[in-house]
Amino acid sequence: MKVTTSTIAAGTVALAATVLAAPLLYRPLGDTAKVLGCAVEAITKGVWTDECAQAVQIDIGGVKSIAVDDLNIDFTDPSPNILTLSSSRMVATIVDCPVFGANWPFTHIQEHDDGHEIGVFKTPKNTAIVSGNQVSSEILASTLTITAGAEDYFSNFISSMLTKPEHTVVLQGGIDVSVSLALSFMGLSEKKFDVTNIGFRSNVHLRGFSNFREIKFVSFVSLIHDTTVTPTTFTLTAKGIINNPSQLALNLGELSFRTLDSAGADVGTTILPNVNLALGDTEVTVIVTSTNEAAYLRLLAVGDTYTFVGHEMTSDDPILNKGMSAFKTNVVLPKYDGPV
C-alpha cells in the first residue's frame, strides 16, 4: 500500500475523488472490456487470472473510500526505517456493483503495495466483515518501511500528527479479496476464488495529538537532592497521565525533553521511559534531572509548571526526532510535600 502526505498528493486528490466516484466496470479505461469480461468469467467459472489482476491494478473506481479507526505504529525497531504498523479496524466502502449487487461477498481482505511516497507496507490476509457495501477488517501487525529518500516527508507526517488536531494522508495501492459466490438462481454451484490487485486511492482523515495538551500530574514518587556534587543536583520522579485524543497509537520507547520552568528558564532534562501511548489515557513515569537550585527550592515552596520540549535527540530514532522537534507539552506540579 502506498502512503503519501496530503501535501504531496494535493494535485491528485481531485482526480482521485473523480475516479472513485465512477462506478466499477464503467470507468472509460482502455481495459474496460477486459475488466467486464473478467467479472463475467469470475461469476460463471470462479476464475480470476493474472491478466485480470493486471487489468484492475490501476484505480478502477471500485473502492470509494478507505477509513481506519486507529493506526498503531511501533518505532522501537533498531532500524529507523523499519516500523511495525497495525489497526484494529479498516473499512473500505465499495461501489454498488450491478453484477454482484450491493453486498460484496468478500471473506478475506489483504492490502499490498504498488508503489510508495513516504512508506510501504503489506498486510497479512485476514478475515473481513461485510455490511452493505462496506468491507471491514483488522490490519494485523505489518512491517512499514519508510522509503529511502523520503525520511523528511515521514518526519513531517509525524510532526503534523503530534502538533495538530488533524491530518490527512492518502493511501494508494491494491486490495486482494477472497470471494465466495452462491448463485443458485443462475443454476451455478458456489464459486470460491481470489480477486487480486484491485487498485484504489483514498484520503484518510486522522485525528492528531495537538501536543498532548498537557501531562496530568498524578503523584510524586521521590525527590532526591544531591549536595555532594558541584553544582548540586536534584532528581524528581513523578507519575502522570497522557491523554491521547488522536487515532494514532505510538510505541516510542524512551523519550528525552528539554525542560523549562513557568518563567521559561532552563530547568534541565526530563526522561519519559518506555512510552507506549495507547488511545485515550496512558500512565507515564516522569523523571526530571536538574542542577537548578532555585527550581528545587520552588518545588518545595509552591510547586511549578514545567514545559517539555522536543529536540534532535529526543529518541533513539533519528526520523522520529525530526518529527518530535516541534513537539512540546507541560505538566503542572503541586508543592512537593514528600520525603527528601
pLDDT at 206 (0 to 100):
84
Q: Which one has a higher pLDDT value, 306 or 124?
A: 306
Q: Where are the domains of the chain?
A: 2-207, 211-333
Mean pLDDT of 254-279: 95
Mean pLDDT of 81-98: 79
Whether 140 shows a pLDDT value over 70: the answer reads: yes
Q: Which one has a higher pLDDT value, 203 or 295?
A: 295
Give the pTM.
Answer: 0.74
Q: Give 289-298 pLDDT, tens digit per residue.
A: 999 999 999 9
Q: Give 215-228 pLDDT, tens digit per residue.
A: 999 999 999 999 99
pLDDT band, very low/low/confident/very high, at 302 (cuts 50, 70, 90)? very high
pLDDT band, very low/low/confident/very high, at 24 (cuts 50, 70, 90)? very low
Residues 6+ apart with CB under 8 A from 31: 55, 56
Torsion sign over Cα 99, 101, 105, 110: positive
pLDDT at 233 (0 to 100):
96
CB atoms within 10 A of CB 23: 14
pLDDT at 27 (0 to 100):
35
User: Which of the listed ranges 6-20, 65-79, 104-118, 119-133 does the model predict with the highest average pLDDT?
Assistant: 65-79
Q: Which one has a higher pLDDT value, 103 or 170?
A: 170
Q: Which one has a higher pLDDT value, 185 or 28?
A: 185
What whole-number distance in Å separates Cα of residue 274 and Cα of residue 13? 38
CB atoms within 10 A of CB 270: 23
Angle at 34 between CA 33 and CA 37, to 5 degrees: 85
Mean pLDDT of 63-71: 82
pLDDT band, very low/low/confident/very high, at 141 (cuts 50, 70, 90)? confident
Mean pLDDT of 169-178: 70
pLDDT band, very low/low/confident/very high, at 163 (cuts 50, 70, 90)? confident
Mean pLDDT lowest among 135-149, 230-244, 269-283, 318-332: 135-149
Mean pLDDT of 248-263: 94
pLDDT at 272 (0 to 100):
97
Q: How far is CA 146 from CA 209, 241, 299, in A?
A: 21, 30, 43
> What CATH number labels 211-333?
2.60.40
pLDDT at 57 (0 to 100):
55
pLDDT at 15 (0 to 100):
18
pLDDT at 41 (0 to 100):
67
What whole-number distance in Å separates Cα of residue 207 and Cα of residue 320? 19
pLDDT at 124 (0 to 100):
77
* Partners of 329 in beta bridges: 308
Mean pLDDT of 12-16: 20
Mean pLDDT of 331-336: 96
The percentage of residues in the chain with a pLDDT greater than 90, rounded to a whole number, is: 35
Whether 20 shows a pLDDT value over 70: the answer reads: no
Q: SS3 letters for the chain?
A: CEEEECCCCHHHHHHHHHHHHCCCCCCCCCCHHHHHHHHHHHHHHCCCCHHHHHHCCCCCCCEEEEEECCEEEECCCCCCCEEEEEEEEEEEEECCECCCECCCCEEEEEEECCCCCCEEECCCCEEEEEECCEEEEEEEEEEEEECCCCHHHHHHHHHHHHHCCEEEEEEEEEEEEEEEECCHHHCCCCEEEEEEEEEEEEEEEEECCHHHCCEEEEEEEEEEEECCCCCCEEEEEEEEEEEECCCEEEEEEEEEEEEECCCCCEEEEEEEEEEEECCEEEEEEEEEEECCHHHHHHHHHCCEEEEEECCCCCCCCHHHHHHHCCCEEEEEECCCCCCC
Amino acid at residue number 52? C
pLDDT at 53 (0 to 100):
65
For residues 75 and 90, is the Cβ–Cβ distance under 8 A? no
Q: Which one has a higher pLDDT value, 270 or 36?
A: 270
Mean pLDDT of 152-173: 81
pLDDT at 158 (0 to 100):
84
